[in-house]
Amino acid sequence: MRTLTVELGPRAYPIHIGAGLLCRPELLEPALGKGPVAVVTNTTVGPLYLPTLRETLQAMGREPVVIELPDGEQYKTLAAIEQIVDQLLAHGCDRSTTLLALGGGVVGDITGFAASVYQRGVPFVQIPTTLLAQVDSSVGGKTGVNHPRGKNMIGTFYQPRAVLIDTDTLKTLPEREYRSGIAEVIKYGLIVDQGFFNYLEDNMDALLAQEPGVLAHVIEQSCADKAWVVAKDETEGGLRAILNLGHTFGHAIEAATGYGTYLHGEAVAIGMAMAADLSRRLDLLRESEQSAIYRLIKRAGLPTAAPALPVADYLRYMRVDKKAQEGRMRFVLLTAIGEATITGDVPEAAVIEAIQSHME
Ligand code: NAD
Ligand code: MG
């Protein structure tokens, strides 16, 4: 097992990574308060992993309240928060309750948000079961739900007490979801960690095969890279925005094609290819580095080509991106593999060329 710490002063917390961690009461114990424990999960993950987690809690003398939500991004709404609050109240859960989020990023975001507002805030623990949640959404303290007018429009910054990553849970994750998570892994190499990018070049096949040592290292390094960025800029005053590499293009692809056509990581992969292309067009990035980026994305089985939609559609969605300031698009670009920069100063013609050159 490996443990790293997210250094946030009084809000610092451990991330434990390894196989079989759902069966380790001693990792859970320090994160739980004296009061009730409530597990929030969904109808897919609950049947797979709740029995093991429940047994571990029972061995500690804790019988959890279980709240099972329907599975899907479309249920990441305020209605889910109300449902959680209803059930917590029905079970007499007071301010000493700890919430455990067992599931992917959707369950994690909902549970974290519920924990941040239930009786003005109760502790929570992330137990992420998708690769994306293990390397990205469970770390950093962004929580929230969607509004009919936009994704993640309601939320809080609220850090968990601990993150427990049991790598065994990935064995049941659909292959496409797993590859989608690898896009965010590649992102860390691109924005802050050239050594990690090189490691991924050498070990992509082992990663795809979920070779235990490689998998644990990749999750640990991804969490470490994200935790480093978050520790420097917890509430996204500046630096944290580099975590959005490929996301301005990616969100436009997801929105313009209708959410669900592309998985998030697939859209981000195309977006990172576009961002690399734009960086090279602006003479920030070398062509050989751009090629290496495309090669690695493709080896992960991820796309680099975008759907052929009118460029105006892309631009429209990109302008409403949360990073846009006063309607001006802002881009995370690369000056090298492992070095990102944020700029609002990009000629629109170059953006259009970058998009068009990726259309299928
Ligand atoms: P998800 O939670 O929808 O999970 C994907 C699918 O896999 C779901 O059907 C889920 O039930 C299933 N699943 C989960 N674990 C499984 C397992 N071990 N075996 C089999 N099936 C399993 O999607 P996701 O990609 O994990 O998360 C996406 C969400 O995360 C989005 O809502 C996004 O906004 C959010 N997110 C948040 C942050 C953040 O910083 N808070 C960062 C990135 C993404
Ligand atoms: Mg993302």
Least confident of 73-82, 93-102, 249-258, 264-273: 249-258
The SS3 of residue 76 is coil
Segment 326-344 shows an average pLDDT of 90
What are the DSSP E strand ranges found in the chain? 2-6, 13-18, 37-42, 65-69, 98-103, 124-128, 142-147, 150-157, 162-166, 331-336, 339-343
DSSP structure class, residue 193: -
Q: What confidence category does residue 322 fall into, taking pLDDT thresholds of 50, 70 and 90?
A: low
For residues 287 and 184, the answer to whether their CB atoms sit within 8 Å is no
Query: In this structure, how many other beta carbons lie within 10 angstroms of the beta carbon of residue 152?
Result: 15
Residues with CB under 6 A from ligand 1: 42, 44-45, 48, 71, 73, 76, 103-107, 109, 129-130, 132-133, 136-137, 140, 142, 152, 169, 172-173, 177, 264
Of 43-52, 110-119, 280-289, 317-326, the poorest mean pLDDT is in 317-326
Q: Is the ipTM of this complex over 0.90?
A: yes
The structure tokens listed for 338 are: 């492992």
Q: Per-residue pLDDT tens for 55-87?
A: 999 999 999 999 999 999 999 999 999 999 999
**Which pTM was predicted?**
0.96
> How many angstroms does the Cα of residue 166 sit away from the middle of ligand 1?
15
